[in-house]
């Protein structure tokens, strides 16, 4: 990734037109991990073309799988998984790689990986992952920054209660439980659509998982999984990001290849702000926002089906030009307001107190030089720049491209004046 790349945005253009929503990054990553469990060649459609997905393919190759992509179809041949180590450089590239722990353990009986570093959002501990896998028979030693995991007599089912409905921990448990001996119950499981997508795919591969999407998930271990074909669900956070971009420019947009039912955590907020939104068949979603948006009632990020933490940053950008004052409470991550100081450079009037952020809407923003420091915060800067008068320049593009397939091409196709240099 060339870190010198920048996005140049000339704001003030109204977005209107049709945008196709890419496959979900946070579903593709665990699905590519699930491929390790399948003896044979698995095919994944609608797999977004992102640096994070490419990193996953490098991990798969490193484990002995053959991984090839054509457009948004990724084929993984996991007939011969020979390795069980995820090298430090690949772990550092993407902490989401922790979700290989469950599948590599399940397939090979061991896994060695470096501790996934914290990230821009805070510590990102993995204690829930490790305690669950230990309950399933894994022996895990943590030393010199490495995790050495073995399951000498294989993994066995367990009744696991998560103190927090962690998405990653739920995914790792499902991946380990699919071929563990006996029954696994997960209580207080994450309910995100990506969990349902993973369970659907594992079941296509021969697993016996019930209840995904609810707080209690049951899995009956099977001997082995066989390869199959799966289409990744649409990315609900990318969809929400585009809706915010259209709304802040008082635009009109149709999203295609979208899953409207996955957006219920935040589309009511957009309606409360004065946007008119409706979904009509075939995965289409329509938004029209003819006038200046109004500040919404307090927004509190919650596990699914609540308001998603990943869409908080794009909404703080949208609210920066709303009429009235908005309050955000970030209950999931301890440090997810890093983009606020950049929004203030555009003229936004925002105060952060710990996990609370108060956004006093201003009538106009004016272009500035901005720096993205993480994925969703970077998307928020793009959204605000679209509405700012004059030119904005956003560096740290590689962060944004971890989650958004060529965001500048997508936005330009609906009228934004944006280019990458």
339 binds ligand EPZ (CB under 6 A): no
**Total residues at the site for ligand EPZ (CB under 6 A)?**
22
Contact call for residue 128 and ligand EPZ (CB under 6 A):
yes
Least Å from the CB of residue 227 to ligand EPZ: 23
Q: Under the criterion CB under 6 A, does residue 337 sit at the interface with ligand EPZ? A: no
For residue 141, the minimal CB distance to ligand EPZ (Å) is: 17
**Closer to ligand EPZ by Cβ: residue 162 or 394:** 162
Q: Residue 26 interacts with ligand EPZ (CB under 6 A)?
A: yes
Active site residue 57: no
Q: Applying CB under 6 A, does 149 fall inside the site for ligand EPZ?
A: no
Q: Could you tell me which residues come within 8 angstroms of residue 92 by beta carbon, excluding any fewer than 6 positions away?
A: 114, 117
Least CB distance to ligand EPZ at residue 40 (A): 25
Please tell me the distance from the alpha carbon of residue 417 to that of residue 390, in angstroms, as a whole number. 11
CA distance 261 to 267: 10
Please provide residue 414's backbone torsions phi and psi, each rounded to the nearest 5 degrees: -120, 25
Alpha-carbon gap, residue 178 to 191, rounded angstroms: 18
Using alpha carbons, select from 41, 8, 418, 13 the residue that is nearest to residue 229: 41
Question: Is the link from the previous residue into 14 a cis peptide, with omega within 30 of 0?
Answer: no
Stretch that binds ligand EPZ, among 14-22, 33-41, 43-51, 166-174 (CB under 6 A): 166-174
Among the residue ranges 21-29, 62-70, 245-253, 274-282, the one whose residues contact ligand EPZ (CB under 6 A) = 21-29
- Distance in Å, CB of 95 to ligand EPZ, minimum: 7
Does 201 engage in binding with ligand EPZ (CB under 6 A)? no
Please give the Cα distance from 144 to 166 (Å, whole number): 25
Residue 116 binds ligand EPZ (CB under 6 A) = no
Which one of the listed residues 111, 119, 258, 357 is annotated catalytic?
119
Residue nearest to ligand EPZ (CB): 168
Return the residue matching tokens 């957009």: 270
Contact present, 205 and 38 (Cβ < 8 Å): yes
DSSP 141-180: EEETTEEEEE-TT--B--EEE-SS--HHHHHHHHHHHTTS
Q: Which residues bind ligand EPZ (CB under 6 A)?
A: 25-26, 29, 96, 124-129, 164, 166-169, 309-310, 332-333, 375-376, 403
Active site residues: 119
């Amino acid at each position: 990734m060339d870190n010198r790349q920048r996005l140049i945005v000339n704001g003030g253009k109204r977005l209107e037109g049709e945008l196709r929503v890419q496959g979900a990054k946070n579903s593709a990553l665990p699905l590519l991990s699930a491929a390790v469990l399948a003896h044979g060649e698995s095919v994944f459609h609608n797999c977004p073309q992102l640096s994070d997905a490419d990193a996953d393919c490098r991990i798969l190759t490193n484990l002995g799988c053959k991984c090839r992509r054509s457009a948004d179809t990724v084929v993984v041949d996991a007939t011969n998984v020979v390795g069980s180590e995820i090298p430090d450089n690949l772990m550092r590239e993407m902490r989401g790689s922790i979700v290989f722990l469950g599948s590599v353990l399940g397939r090979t009986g061991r896994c060695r990986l470096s501790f996934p570093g914290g990230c821009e959002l805070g510590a990102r501990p993995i204690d829930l992952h490790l305690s669950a896998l230990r309950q399933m028979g894994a022996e895990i030693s943590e030393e010199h920054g490495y995790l050495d995991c073995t399951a000498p007599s294989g993994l066995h089912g367990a009744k696991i209660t998560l103190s927090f409905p962690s998405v990653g921990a739920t995914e790792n448990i499902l991946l380990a439980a699919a071929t563990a001996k006996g029954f696994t119950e997960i209580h207080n499981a994450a309910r995100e659509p990506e969990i349902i997508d993973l369970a659907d795919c594992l079941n296509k591969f021969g697993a016996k998982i019930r209840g995904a999407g609810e707080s209690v998930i049951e899995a009956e271990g099977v001997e082995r999984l066989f390869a199959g074909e799966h289409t990744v669900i649409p990315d609900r956070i990318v969809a929400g990001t585009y809706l915010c971009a259209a709304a802040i420019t008082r635009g009109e947009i149709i999203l295609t290849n979208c899953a409207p039912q996955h957006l219920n955590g935040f589309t009511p907020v957009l309606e409360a702000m004065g946007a008119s939104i409706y979904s009509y068949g075939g995965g289409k979603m329509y938004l029209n926002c003819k006038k200046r948006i109004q500040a919404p009632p307090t927004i509190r990020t919650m596990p699914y089906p609540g308001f998603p933490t990943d869409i908080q940053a794009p909404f703080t950008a949208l609210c920066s030009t709303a009429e009235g004052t908005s309050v955000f409470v970030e209950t999931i991550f301890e440090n997810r307001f890093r983009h606020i100081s950049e929004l203030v450079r555009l003229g936004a009037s925002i105060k952060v107190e710990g996990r609370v952020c108060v956004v006093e809407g201003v009538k106009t923003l004016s272009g500035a030089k901005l720096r993205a420091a993480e994925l969703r915060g970077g998307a928020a800067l793009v959204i605000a720049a679209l509405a700012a008068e004059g030119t904005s320049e956003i560096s740290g593009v590689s962060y944004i491209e971890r989650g958004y397939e060529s965001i500048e091409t997508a936005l330009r196709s609906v009228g934004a004046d944006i280019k990458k240099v």
